[in-house]
Every structure is written in C-alpha cells, then in structure tokens.
Structure 1
Amino acid sequence: MNETNIKRIDKKQRRWKRWGIHLFPLPALIIYGLFIVYPLIAALMYSFFDWNGIVRGAFVGLKNFKNLFTLEPFSGMFWNAFRHNIIYFVIQMVVQNGLAFLLAFVLYKKIRGAEFFKLAFFLPRLLSVIVVGFLWKLILNPNFGALNAILGKIGLESLQKAWLGDPKSALITIILVNCWFGLGFGVLIFLAGLQAVPTELTEAATLDGAKGFTMIRKIILPLMIPSIMIMTVLTFIQSFEAFELVYAMQGSMGEPYFSTDTLAVYFYRLAFGGSSGESSAIGLGSALAVVLFLFISIFTVLFLKFTQKKEVEM
C-alpha cells in the first residue's frame, strides 16, 4: 500500500470520527425533542385556541389565560391550588430537608452502622409513588389503619382521626408522607456535601474552639451552599409538580373539598376531566401548564443566580 492510499484512508477515518462525534448525541436529542420540547410547544399552541372536548376550535389568543386568572371558578381553583403548592414547598424545606441535613450530619460523624442507616433512609425512594400512596392510605385509614391503632394502644385515643378525611389535616398528612418518601435522597445529597468539606478546615476550626452549632454555622453551611442550592431547587420543582402522591391518596378532585388540590392535579382535571364527570377544558389546561412551566423556570433561574452570587461572596 503506497503512501497516497494510506493518507486517503487516514483522511476517511478522520472524517468518520468527526461525523461520529456530531451524530453521537443525536438519539438523545431526538428523544428529548419528542418528549420534552414538542409537548411544551404543543401546550403553548393549544392554549391559544378554544376547544370543544378534544376538537380544536377558533383561535382565541390570550383568552384562556385571562379566564384562568379572572373567571370563576377557574381563578378561585387556581389560587387555592397555588397556595397549597406553596405550603407543600415550605413544609418540605423545613421538615424533609431540615431532618435530612441533621441525619446526614449524624452519619457524617461516622456512627456505628452508618451504611445500614443510609440504606434504610433511601429504601422508600425505591418504591413507586403510587405504591407509597396506596400503602399510606391503608396505614391512615380511620377504621383499620395502623396509625390510629398504634395511637389507641399507647393511650393517645384523643389524637385518632380521619387523617385524609379532615380538610384541616389532609394536605399536611400528604406532605409529611412525601417528606418520608424523599428523606433518603436529601440525606445522600447533604452527606455528599459534608464529605466534600475539607477536613483541614474543620480540624483547624476545632483547634480554635469552634464546635457544635458554631462549627455548622461558620464553617460547614457556607461550604455546603452547592448542596443546599441543589436540594432547594429540586424541592421547589417537586413541590410545584406534585401530582402522583396526591392523586394516589386523594384522587383527581383534591378531596376533601379541594383541600389537597395542587396545580398539577388541577391541570389534570382541566385537561382530561375530573373523576366526578367534569368535562375537559384542554385550552385552559394548556394555559395552566404554560403558566406553571414559566413560573418554575423563572424562579429556578433567579434562585440559581442569587445563590451563585452568594457563593462567590462567601
């Protein structure tokens, strides 16, 4: 084989490698486009039309958005669900992430059986959300549920109640179940952040007399801003997309009396009709989906910019 042929083959190989590099992400881009980009564009387009069931009608511009915010009962349902999502986020941040950080800090101290506890905390996350909802619905049943039975056995009959049947406790109960479900993931994220803290800094701070809460506040928390930022953003997104657990435990109507309604559940009811025989309103549902997407995206971007600025300052 002469030198000319060798150069020609080498040139073809380099060309194929160059094409391979560009074509390698193509399958992922196709899947992303079909299941992420296309639904977003379709929802935006659907929101500008009137709908008769699943039949698209006339172009109405921003009318669906206006009706969503100003026309009853849509506006009342929207703000009711929005308030529930905020409550969802606040309780998850305080209970789930606060407890996850404390447990991660305890495991960080290398207690005996740390690996077992990490597995135990994360184990619920391996279950399907629908399965979790079904199991906890059985546990919380007011007639034969395990929770009320345990309260009765230890002499706390006054605390027994229909946890999912009372509008005052139903939403809080579902959120606490969600905190139990997501606790292990938070523990792993915070534990990874703690393990990334240089031991030289903590040892030097210990020699200077820092310990306990002072050590956490002055040394550990500032260095864990990336982990805290990740958990805050993920918790916010999950809180405002809360659907599966609410649907599994209370159905599409946000029972009782819409006290567990969230924006995602309300979207499902608008777009596909409720379990009580409500007709679908695809235009309004699409408008709600667009509003929810924009709200989550804008908040996430602003929060990331804010936390990056604080991280640089600290």
Structure 2
Amino acid sequence: MELEINKNLNRNKQKRNWKRWAIHLFPIPALFVYGLFIVYPLLAALSYSFFDWNGMIRGDFVGFANFVDLFTLEPFSGYFWNAFGHNIIYFVVQLVFQNAIAFFLAYLIYKKLKFGEFFKIALFLPRLLSVIVVGFLWKLILNPNFGALNVILGKFGLENLQKAWLGDPDTALMTIILVNCWFGIGFMLLIFLAGFQAIPKELLEAATLDGAKEFKMLKTIMLPLMIPSIMITTVLTFIQSFEAFELVYAMQGSQGEPYHSTDTLAVYFYRLAFGGSTGDSTAIGLGSALAVVLFIFISTFTALLLKFMQKKEVEM
C-alpha cells in the first residue's frame, strides 16, 4: 500500500514537472519571430556596415570606414547633420505642442469638461487611420491649387496667408510636424488622462479641505504624481521623432523635398540603402552604418531619459 502511494506521488510530481517545463515552451514562437524580424536585421545591419558594397554585392572589409565617411565625407555628412537637426526640431515641437496640448486637454476632460467624452473620441479617431493614409489626405488638403486649407483661407479673405505649404522650404517641415501632432495628440491624451484618473481622490479632497486652490493643487500634488505619465509620453515622443519616416515619405517622398528641407534620419537611411540617389558603391554600407548609429543613439538617449525621469520621480 505504501509503495503504491509513493508511485502515485512520483507520478504526480513528474506531471507537475512536465507542466512546469511546458509553460516555458509558449514564448518560443514569439522569441522566434522577434529574433527573425528584430535581432537578425540589427545584427545584419551591423555586419553590413563594416563592408564595402558594389551594388548588392558585398565587397572588402573596410572596418569603420563607412562610419567615418558618414560623419566626415561630403555630401553624406552634410545630409546626415541636416537630417539630424530636423529630427531634433521634430522632437522639440512635438514635445511643446502635441504633449503640452494633450496634457491640458486631458486635465480638462478629467475635470468633467462639457462634451469631454466626445472630444476624447474625436481626438483619438485619427490614430485609427494608417499613417500613409493620413499623409496622403493632408497632402490633398494642403495642395496649393485646390487644397481645402487654401480654399478656406480664400473664402475668408486671407489670400495673403495662402501658401504652397509643402513646396516652401520654410514651411514644409513644420507643416509635416504639425500634421504629426494632429495625428498623435489623441494617444498622448489617453495616457495623460489615465495618469490623472490614477491619482487618489483622498489626496485631492484633503487638499481642498485645507483650502488649496486649483492651480496650487495641480502644481504641488497632481503634477508630481503625473511624472510616470510624463515620462512615458516623453520617451515615446523621442523615439517616434527620431524614427519619423512614414508621414514624411507619404507627404514628400524619399528625397526630403523641397531641397532636403524635410529630410529625417530615417528618410535619409532609406535613400542611402534603397534609393540609390548618390550612385555610390558604398550606399548599402553607409545606410547600414546610419542604421547602427541611429539605433545606438535612440537606445542610449532613451535609457538616459528614463534614468533622469525616474530620478525626478523619486525626488518629488
């Protein structure tokens, strides 16, 4: 009898061990897909960046020559720093306009603004569209001849404000960035709104009983508790700004027209690696070097940004 009980216990133990190991098999398909489409392209780009290329044929090993050319050899270095500056402008404008407006609107909706739910849905709806579709729609709206924006300006007697919005180097980049803000503001609003709704109501009620005014309550209580939401939106904005490609490509193509005034690092990478605009035999190597530099820069700056924001959260 005791022997039979021991056998049953051992059998049950083996079943539990098998189930415990079987659980570890479930992530394997996801890890395979991640490795195939994320890890492998990164490693491949790293390896390609160390070689010279004759079209699609890999040539001699050149070490860091592609990286040196990217930063020092014209016209590559000029295009690189031009695109890098545009990405910085992209980030700053989105941070100031998109995130600040989203924060303000989220606060108003949290405070039970009239028709707040309608505005929340209306602002998020563009996010449901493809970025390519958004780009082509706004390209039609901004058309200098028949676009809705110039037509409306003309109807109100504001002909002096009519422009070739995407054809003028002075306005093209800012126009695309503002379209991107319109597209992304609803998503950021939801993140901020979730942050406001997570604030314990007991704290606000206690502050109200102590006679705290609305602005002081926002500054001293709500804002410190919103640091995690601010951190998330800032990091997402930074990553999106330095990966900006689809909207620029949809509205201006891969050449960063007019006169490279809308170039971003991602668009420049596409042109180097696939566009063949320079006709140089090392275009794939330079494009891979740019991809590696962009990956390192985004990863490093994102980590530093998270560290800084977490430090601020602890201090507050």
TM norm structure 1:
0.96
Cα distance, 1:277 vs structure 2? 7.9
Letter of the 2:233 counterpart = M
Q: Distance in 2 between matches of 1:33 and 1:249?
A: 32
Letter of the 2:130 counterpart = S
Which residue of 154, 161, 164 maps to 1:162? 164
Unpaired runs of at least 5, structure 2: none
Q: Distance in 2 between matches of 1:224 and 1:78?
A: 36
Match of 1:226 in 2: 228
Match of 1:251 in 2: 253
Pairs aligned (count): 313
Match of 1:151 in 2: 153
Aligned-partner SS, 2:24? helix
Q: Distance in 2 between matches of 1:254 and 1:5?
A: 73
Q: Distance in 2 between matches of 1:180 and 1:278?
A: 37
Cα distance, 1:198 vs structure 2? 1.4
Cα distance, 1:216 vs structure 2? 1.8
Letter of the 1:47 counterpart = S
The 5 Å alignment of 1:4-153 reads 4-153=6-155
CA contact (8 A) 2:103 2:189 kept: yes
Cα distance, 1:279 vs structure 2? 5.8
Match of 2:174 in 1: 172
Q: Distance in 2 between matches of 1:243 and 1:66?
A: 24
Residue 277 to residue 292, structure 1, CA distance change in 2 (3 Å):
closer
Q: Distance in 2 between matches of 1:117 and 1:214?
A: 26
Match of 1:193 in 2: 195
CA contact (8 A) 2:272 2:278 kept: no
CA contact (8 A) 2:69 2:76 kept: yes
Q: Distance in 2 between matches of 1:221 and 1:177?
A: 28
CA contact (8 A) 1:107 1:114 kept: yes
Q: Distance in 2 between matches of 1:115 and 1:310?
A: 32
C-alpha root-mean-square deviation of aligned residues, in Å? 1.5
Cα distance, 1:207 vs structure 2? 2.9
Match of 2:274 in 1: 272
Letter of the 1:88 counterpart = Y
Match of 1:182 in 2: 184
CA contact (8 A) 2:256 2:262 kept: yes
Give the % identical residues: 77
Unpaired runs of at least 5, structure 1: none
Show CA shifts across 1:50-95 (max 9, x none).
0011110000000000000000000000000000000000000000
Which deviates more, 113-122 or 55-64?
113-122
Q: Distance in 1 between matches of 2:215 and 2:239?
A: 30
Match of 1:306 in 2: 308
Letter of the 2:35 counterpart = G
